[in-house]
A and B are shown apart, each in its own frame.
Chain A
Amino acid sequence: MDPLLVTCLDAIKLLVSGDEALWNIIGVSCRVSLTALSIAALPAVLLGFLLAMVRFPGRWVVITIFHALMAVPTVVVGLSLYLMLSRSGPFGDLHLLFTQPAMVIGQVLLCFPVLVCMSHSAFQSLDKRAWETARTLGASHGRSFIALVREAKFALLATLVVGFGRIISEVGCSMMVGGNIMSYTRNIPTAIALETSKGEFAQGVALGIVLLLLALVLNFFLASFRGRGQLVSS
């Protein structure tokens, strides 16, 4: 039989048989990335909202910088964070290097610009009068903000999915500040890198399948949600 096919079959066997090491890796990945996303989401969306609503000098400079930050390679973020957290670095006393919190910090830094830029364009596409109407009807700032979030909910959901996609699949930063420690900081992408370097392709393919499925499920969820929304509004 074809080696590729054999590898894929082995991979599926591994997944179905509930291989403990494999599911542990998947757990680490989801835990770290979801934590990072939930820390970054609210401040980033608020910032995107402010950038869309408030006119101030140098606003486009800030937006441009965030757009540029979206393209920063993950290893660069990883390296800067490594130097900060290293024993000889300014935050060495915290002993955070090669821990899950360090990975979370890295992923927050990585998804923040994406969330800011995409939520900014989400709010920008709204009618400016929505905000004014809410305010004149006597809603507080907070209430009005929530009203606008409701208006832009599909675009904001897409924002979260893209932000999550950026961090669940990144290998550079996790490898550098997490250290790929078995059953502690080993996540899906770093495990794939390791298994391929060992020549254990089945493990790598199995984890790849998990990432693909995750992406598909998220996007199906998003699409179905959006589809229902359109039915209601039309």
Chain B
Amino acid sequence: MKNWIFRALATLVVICALPLQAEESIVRLATTTSTYNSGLLDALLPSFEARHNLKVQVIAVGTGKALRMGEAGDVDLVMTHAPAAEQKFVDAGFGVEPTGLMYNDFVLIGPAADPAQIRGNQSAVDAMKKIADSNSLFISRGDDSGTHKKEKGLWKSAGVDHRFENYREVGQGMGKVLQMADELNAYTLTDRGTWLAYESRLQLQLLVEGDEGLFNPYQVILVNPSKHEGLNTEGARALRDWLISDEGQQQIDAFKINGKPLFKASAAR
């Protein structure tokens, strides 16, 4: 009887320890909240995982933190969309093999009444200037994310001080910012993906799109394996290679939200 119990316990221990065996095959990917919330990775990763017998763990944070996690060696690769910050990350030796992956774009949205009169404006910079000049309520991400960096760049190009009276930095994710802008009838800059996901629930409208200055390039960068031990660089490289392969790129182009395509694959093959 005792023997039987002992065997059962031993079996249990073995079963519990099994996942530990498979630790080699986990890839940790830090990406931005907007990428994750778009659902793109949920659509892409299963077919990659099945093929390579790897498990990808996605950690969704702001661009700033994603790169910090890469610096600290907490992840195997990063997928971000802030060219300047990524350049610094690579130059400092934290990341290797930066690879262009795809594009999407930002859009300016705001209340239907459009107090700043920016609807249909071809120039994003001009629209931002009008928002500041008319002192309209503008909600900013204020969290150092790729979107926030983009917005700051636009204010700079417009040559206006963005700290006007009705400028509000809220330091939260894109979805939350859209809800706040909707509640407060404010303008905001958002990535198209989050906008498409939230559009049906909001009264805000898309006012400015298509300006080249609103394009948003994505890169994948491997975390430098010579900086940290215990990284799964092999797995990370496999994931990167699959993303820029014909199959991966086709799947990116085929990904749609509410029937609308979101990303344009752009890997230089």
Which A residues are closer than 8 A to B by beta carbons? 3, 86-87, 97-98, 175, 179-182, 184, 186, 190-191, 194, 196-200
At the interface, yes or no: B172 with Cβ under 8 Å from chain A?
Answer: yes
Cβ–Cβ < 8 Å partners of B61 in chain A:
197, 199
With a 10 A CB-CB cut-off, give which of A97, A98, A182, A197 has the most chain B CB atoms.
A197
Ordered by A's residue number, 6 sampled pairs between the chains whose C-beta atoms are within 8 Å are A182-B168, A194-B172, A196-B65, A197-B171, A199-B61, A199-B62
At the interface, yes or no: B189 with Cβ under 8 Å from chain A?
Answer: no
Cβ–Cβ < 8 Å partners of A3 in chain B:
72
Q: How large is the interface on B (under 10, 10 to 19, 20 to 34, 35 or more residues)?
A: 20 to 34
In the complex, are the beta carbons of B67 and A179 less than 8 A apart?
no
Cβ–Cβ < 8 Å partners of B72 in chain A:
3
Cβ–Cβ < 8 Å partners of A184 in chain B:
168
A-B contacts counted at CB < 8 A amount to 54
In the complex, are the beta carbons of B170 and A198 less than 8 A apart?
no
- A225 CB to closest chain B CB (Å) equals 38
In the complex, are the beta carbons of A181 and B67 less than 8 A apart?
no
With a 10 A CB-CB cut-off, give which of B61, B68, B170 has the most chain A CB atoms.
B170
Other A-B contacts than A180-B170, A196-B65, A200-B64, 13 sampled, CB-CB below 8 A, are A86-B183, A87-B182, A179-B170, A181-B168, A181-B169, A181-B170, A182-B170, A198-B62, A198-B144, A198-B171, A199-B61, A199-B68, A199-B69
Q: Mark interface residues in B45-57 (1 if CB within 8 Å of A CB, else 0).
A: 0000000000000
In the complex, are the beta carbons of B64 and A199 less than 8 A apart?
yes
User: From A175, which residue of chain B is reached at the shortest CB distance?
Assistant: B172
Indicate which residue in A86, A97, A180 contacts B172 across the interface (CB closer than 8 Å): A180
Question: Could you tell me the distance between the alpha carbons of A114 and B22 in the complex, rounded to whole angstroms?
Answer: 47
Q: Mark interface residues in B159-185 (1 if CB within 8 Å of A CB, else 0).
A: 000000000111110000000101110
User: From B169, which residue of chain A is reached at the shortest CB distance?
Assistant: A182
Given A97-B183, A179-B180, A182-B142, residue A194 in contact with residue B67 (CB < 8 A): no
Which B residues are closer than 8 A to A by beta carbons? 61-62, 64-65, 67-69, 72, 142-144, 168-172, 180, 182-184
In the complex, are the beta carbons of A199 and B65 less than 8 A apart?
yes
Indicate which residue in B68, B143, B168 contacts A194 across the interface (CB closer than 8 Å): B143
Question: Could you tell me the distance between the alpha carbons of A200 and B14 in the complex, rounded to whole angstroms?
Answer: 42
Question: Could you tell me the distance between the alpha carbons of A186 and B171 in the complex, rounded to whole angstroms?
Answer: 9
In the complex, are the beta carbons of B183 and A198 less than 8 A apart?
no
- A67 CB to closest chain B CB (Å) equals 33
- B142 CB to closest chain A CB (Å) equals 6
Given A179-B172, A180-B171, A182-B171, residue A197 in contact with residue B183 (CB < 8 A): no
Minimum-distance CB pairs A-B, first 4? A199-B68, A182-B169, A194-B171, A199-B65
Indicate which residue in B64, B180, B182, B184 contacts A198 across the interface (CB closer than 8 Å): B64
In the complex, are the beta carbons of B180 and A98 less than 8 A apart?
yes
Cβ–Cβ < 8 Å partners of B184 in chain A:
97-98
Question: Could you tell me the distance between the alpha carbons of A186 and B72 in the complex, rounded to whole angstroms?
Answer: 28
With a 10 A CB-CB cut-off, give which of B72, B143, B171, B183 has the most chain A CB atoms.
B171
User: From A199, which residue of chain B is reached at the shortest CB distance?
Assistant: B68
Question: Could you tell me the distance between the alpha carbons of A87 and B65 in the complex, rounded to whole angstroms?
Answer: 33
- A46 CB to closest chain B CB (Å) equals 36
Question: Could you tell me the distance between the alpha carbons of A152 and B70 in the complex, rounded to whole angstroms?
Answer: 55
Question: Could you tell me the distance between the alpha carbons of A182 and B143 in the complex, rounded to whole angstroms?
Answer: 11
Cβ–Cβ < 8 Å partners of A190 in chain B:
171
With a 10 A CB-CB cut-off, give which of A86, A97, A182, A199 has the most chain B CB atoms.
A199
Cβ–Cβ < 8 Å partners of B170 in chain A:
179-182
Question: Could you tell me the distance between the alpha carbons of A197 and B65 in the complex, rounded to whole angstroms?
Answer: 6
Cβ–Cβ < 8 Å partners of B180 in chain A:
98, 179
- B104 CB to closest chain A CB (Å) equals 22
In the complex, are the beta carbons of B143 and A198 less than 8 A apart?
yes
Cβ–Cβ < 8 Å partners of B67 in chain A:
199
